[in-house]
Amino acid sequence: MEVLLFGMIAEKAGTDRLQLNAASVAELRRSMSERIPGFEQMVHVIAIDRVIVTDDRPLLGHEEVAVLPPFAGG
Amino acid sequence: MNQEKKHKVKDIFVEGPIDPTFIATSVAKHATRMDIGAHEIFLGQVRADEHRTSNIDVRSVIAIEYTAYRDMALERMTAIREEAFTRWPSMTCLHVHHSLGVIPAGQLCFMVFASAPHRMAAREAVAWVVDRIKADLPIFGREVLSDSTHVWKVNRSVDPSGRPADR
């Protein structure tokens, strides 16, 4: 699945899109750690279809997945 | 309630700084609305914060480059708008604009503009909407410093009520 990256996480990854396979949000986080150095230490939330979810959320593969660093609007 | 006012998804994002003359024009557009008695406007301006690693190493913010997860931000903004009109049913209209791209220090990057028959609804709604936007919208800010390095802006931690601490 395609994972959208933003802000400091995109900067660290060197790209704003990653292709990853994951069956759950927890698995997605593990794949992210393998691909992005220091990912575990980066504050973030995961959004599935534009809604923030927790680790136990299953992934079917066709969702819109995004990894979001802390918000800074305003 | 006016359904169009409530449910229409509006694009809040503008490329570059918000021009002060745009604000005057926005106010003028309401002159035909005879039910409005009060306007309340919040304007956010890019502040030249100092980043200090020692007494001699002081770098200041010369600009913020804003990016956003646009689709999610607009969905959340629509929900915030709907809740605002539920909380302040007398509110006549609500206009929100947020900049994307590089905004130099001293320029405007954020505008929340509410109108109502009386001032309290407009005033309370603007304060609430500003807090919600800062806490809930996936907008990211890269602070460009005077030595060409950068740091990532993070809105001060949000307290359990969802209210940003840097009010």
Residue B49, CA distances (Å) to A69, B4, B45, B63 in order: 21, 40, 12, 10
- ipTM strictly over 0.90? yes
* Cross-chain Cβ contact B137/A6 below 8 Å: no
* Cross-chain Cβ contact A66/B141 below 8 Å: no
**Residue in chain B nearest A49 by alpha carbon:** B72
Band (pLDDT 50/70/90 cuts) for residue A56 is confident
Nearest to B110 among A66, A71, A74 (CB): A74
**DSSP H helical segments within chain B, as ranges?**
3-7, 20-28, 70-87, 119-136
- Residue A22 is predicted with a pLDDT of 93
- Residue B40 is predicted with a pLDDT of 98
Does the pTM surpass 0.90? The reply is yes
What does the block give as tokens for B137? 């919208």
**Cα separation of B111 and B97, whole Å?**
5
Domains observed in chain A: 2-68 (3.10.20.30)
* Cross-chain Cβ contact A50/B75 below 8 Å: yes
**Residue in chain B nearest A5 by alpha carbon:** B69
Query: Which residue out of B47, B126, B140, B158 would a mutagenesis test of the A interface target, given it has the greatest number of A Cβ atoms within 10 Å?
Result: B140
* Cross-chain Cβ contact B133/A74 below 8 Å: yes
Per-residue pLDDT tens over the stretch B96-145: 999 999 999 999 999 999 999 999 999 999 999 999 999 999 999 999 99
What's the CATH number for B3-153? 3.90.1170.40
Band (pLDDT 50/70/90 cuts) for residue A42 is very high
Residues of A engaging B, defined by a Cβ cutoff of 8 Å = 4, 6-8, 11, 47, 50, 64, 66, 68-74
Provide the strand spans (E) within A1-74. 2-5, 17-19, 45-48, 51-53, 65-68
- Residue B6 is predicted with a pLDDT of 54
Nearest to A73 among B98, B142, B152 (CB): B98
Q: Chain A partners of B109 at a C-beta cutoff of 8 Å? A: 74
- Residue B1 is predicted with a pLDDT of 47
**Residue in chain A nearest B65 by alpha carbon:** A7
Cα of B78 vs its chain's centroid, Å: 14
Where b means 16+ CB within 10 Å and e means fewer, B21-52 reads eebeebeeeeeeeeebebbbebebebeeeebe
pLDDT (average), residues A17-44 = 94
- Is residue B131 within 8 A of residue B165, CB to CB? The reply is no
Domain edges within chain B: 3-153
* Cross-chain Cβ contact B138/A8 below 8 Å: no
* Cross-chain Cβ contact B75/A8 below 8 Å: no
End-to-end CA distance of chain A: 32
Residue with tokens 């150095």: A37
Counting as low any pLDDT under 50, the low residues of chain B are 1-4, 160
